[in-house]
Structure 1
Amino acid sequence: MSTKKLFLFTLIALLAFAANSILCRLALKVEWVDPLDFSIIRLLSAAIILWLLLVAKNAHSAKIFMQYGSSKGAVNLLIYVLGFSYAYVGLSTATGALILFAAVQFTMLGAALLSGKRLSVLESIGIAISLMGLCYFVYPELDKPNGLTFIFMIVAGIAWGMYSLIGSQSVSPLLDTSSNFIRLVPLCVLALFVAYFFGDTHITFLGFVYSVASGALASGLGYSLWYKVLPKLDKSVAAVSQLSVPIWAALGGILFIHEGITWHLLLSSCLILGGILLVLLSQFKQKIPA
């Protein structure tokens, strides 16, 4: 894969993550979709679109999907989706973003350090600047989070970090991602049955659309692309690049929810993206022969 394609695909995957935040906010906060219903629809719609893609690409591969992915990957995916949905019931978008991506960042960087990697001075500075920018970005909106939702988001961040680490070993991104989602279908169907017959399920048309879009587009296709680029990215680059997601989500709010542009947003964007640039430059320098 060329450098240009790697950059483009990584950017699209990060934008898909941001789209998930926006769609989740619209579904849970605007349309008042229950977090369990949102999670079920999200997972099922992702599994369906990925299954259709497998059939369209190679009918045989759709029959052997269980040979790909892993139960560990599916479990981490489930924990992330549930933790993410339930955490945003009690957390503001900014507070949730800080907790989630800080947890992802330290999970992936911690794994890299445990595997023997040593960060260069430039990488360390870049990561520090990005974290400072993220903290500055969410600081005005920070509120004291409910203890349980705080834990939910930390667990979701650790699970997503682990899911990304598993994806860094993927050799068949579409098959691995499809398998991880499809493995969860029986559990989702059971949960849907319980929610429908024993719960108080109520969902609007727009709430359903937002949930399906989050699953089929932002999750199913977005995560497949993420699994495709992860093996080509250094763990530190994969970790720190995700710090840009809250910025992309904020920009999406400007475009789709008509939120205003502020100097605070511009400055925090420069800090976060500037830190990421330093990490990328460090990786580029390390690959250039002396």
Structure 2
Amino acid sequence: MRLFLLTALTMAAFAANSVLNRWGVGRGYIGAVEFACIRLVAGALVLAMLVLWQRGGLAWPGVTGRLAGVLGLSVYLVGFSLAYLGLDAGTGALVLFGMVQVTMFAGAFVTGEAVPARRWAGAGLALGGLALIAAPAEAGLPPGPLLLMALAGMGWGFYSLAGRGATDPLAATAWNFLLSVPLVLPLAVGLGFDRPDATGIALAVVSGAVTSGMGYALWYVILPTLGAARAGVAQLSVPILAALGGAVLLTEVPGLRFWAAAVLVLGGVAWASLPYRSLTRR
């Protein structure tokens, strides 16, 4: 139950990133590239300060998974921001976490992790719910942004798989953010900057320092116990949580189709993720 609650908290942080991005970029408070840069730098600074405070120094956590973590995080951040120039937030979230699902299940096979039939069935049920949400938006989607979001999903999948070997999750997350800065900022500078307003900056800072930095550190803590397959399935709940956040904060109230899909997605995630004994206990 503790693992289930920590996973739910982490998924809520991931969903908050989509809501914050939609709030800032969608309403014109900040550009997509600027949001990504401020988010990354804020996360790097806060995580570095936390490691310095808790450990007394920013010790190198080791090379295991470091390259995959840094590259995966960088690809995710850049692809995520640029894709939202042509996709709405809901469609983007569906493409992102659908690709994460594929990447992490592939990782489970490559690493020899056992994937029981119940977990496959839960994943199928959840994917059916996502397809129900995505159905009205299937036609006319721009291929460029779709490809960018698919690459972002692959990046996040690799980042998550790399995190399973972290012996110090907080330090590993801090170093991933710090080492991603020199990769992302030059690209962002080359694409050009627009001056954001105070609201846009605040939303990007919260996304970087809290829902990204803290959320990703917690993600690295629970990944070794969660496993690649269950981690991939659990993240399918993020688009639903993001839509709920949009309804509350942005007055985007979902319709009947959304609630039907929510039952499928969250039911599938619970079926695939909860221990078997908790489902059969009388």
TM-score, reference length from structure 1: 0.89
Q: Distance in 2 between matches of 1:150 and 1:159?
A: 14
- 1:57-79 Cα offsets, whole Å, 9 max, x none, are 1222x2x2364661331111000
Q: Does 2:99 correspond to 1:106?
A: no
Q: Distance in 1 between matches of 2:141 and 2:29?
A: 20
Partner of 2:12: 15
Q: What is the CA distance between 1:144 and its match in structure 2?
A: 2.1
Partner of 1:88: 84
Q: Does 2:151 correspond to 1:158?
A: no
Amino acid at match of 1:46: G
Q: Distance in 2 between matches of 1:187 and 1:117?
A: 32
Partner of 1:284: 276
Q: Does 2:258 correspond to 1:265?
A: yes
Q: How do 1:122-271 residues align onto structure 2 when only pairs under 5 Å count? A: 122-187=118-183, 190=186, 194=189, 199-271=192-264
Identity %: 36
Q: Distance in 1 between matches of 2:192 and 2:251?
A: 35
Aligned residues: 278
Q: Does 2:65 correspond to 1:73?
A: no
Q: Distance in 1 between matches of 2:185 and 2:77?
A: 16
**Which stretch shows the higher mean deviation, 251-260 or 79-88?**
251-260
Q: What is the CA distance between 1:118 and its match in structure 2?
A: 4.7
Q: Retained in 1: the 8 A contact 2:66–2:162? A: no
- Aligned with 2:46 (options 49, 56, 60): 49
> What secondary structure sits across from 1:184 in the alignment?
helix
- 1:144-164 Cα offsets, whole Å, 9 max, x none, are 221211110111001100100
Q: Distance in 1 between matches of 2:84 and 2:16?
A: 15
Partner of 1:30: 27
- 1:3-62 Cα offsets, whole Å, 9 max, x none, are 42x2221111101110000111112111252222111111100001101111221222x2
Amino acid at match of 1:114: V
Residues 1:94 and 1:200: Cα distance change in structure 2 (over 3 Å):
closer
Q: What CA RMSD, in Å, does the superposition of the two structures yield over aligned residues? A: 2.2
> What secondary structure sits across from 1:56 in the alignment?
helix
Q: What is the CA distance between 1:199 and its match in structure 2?
A: 3.5
Q: Retained in 2: the 8 A contact 1:43–1:181? A: yes
Q: Distance in 2 between matches of 1:215 and 1:187?
A: 16
Q: Distance in 2 between matches of 1:136 and 1:178?
A: 37
TM-score, reference length from structure 2: 0.91
Residues 1:54 and 1:118: Cα distance change in structure 2 (over 3 Å):
closer
Q: Retained in 2: the 8 A contact 1:94–1:141? A: no
Residues 1:212 and 1:118: Cα distance change in structure 2 (over 3 Å):
same
- 1:192-229 Cα offsets, whole Å, 9 max, x none, are 7x46xx94521111111111111111110110010110
Residues 1:199 and 1:89: Cα distance change in structure 2 (over 3 Å):
closer
Q: Distance in 2 between matches of 1:78 and 1:10?
A: 23
Q: Retained in 2: the 8 A contact 1:104–1:160? A: yes
Amino acid at match of 2:238: V
Q: Retained in 2: the 8 A contact 1:31–1:206? A: no
> What secondary structure sits across from 1:227 in the alignment?
helix
Q: Distance in 1 between matches of 2:28 and 2:123?
A: 36
Q: Distance in 1 between matches of 2:156 and 2:202?
A: 24
Residues 1:134 and 1:199: Cα distance change in structure 2 (over 3 Å):
closer
Residues 1:235 and 1:200: Cα distance change in structure 2 (over 3 Å):
closer
Amino acid at match of 1:91: L
Q: Distance in 2 between matches of 1:177 and 1:252?
A: 26
Q: Retained in 1: the 8 A contact 2:246–2:252? A: yes
Gaps of 5+ in 1: none
Q: What is the CA distance between 1:141 and its match in structure 2?
A: 3.7
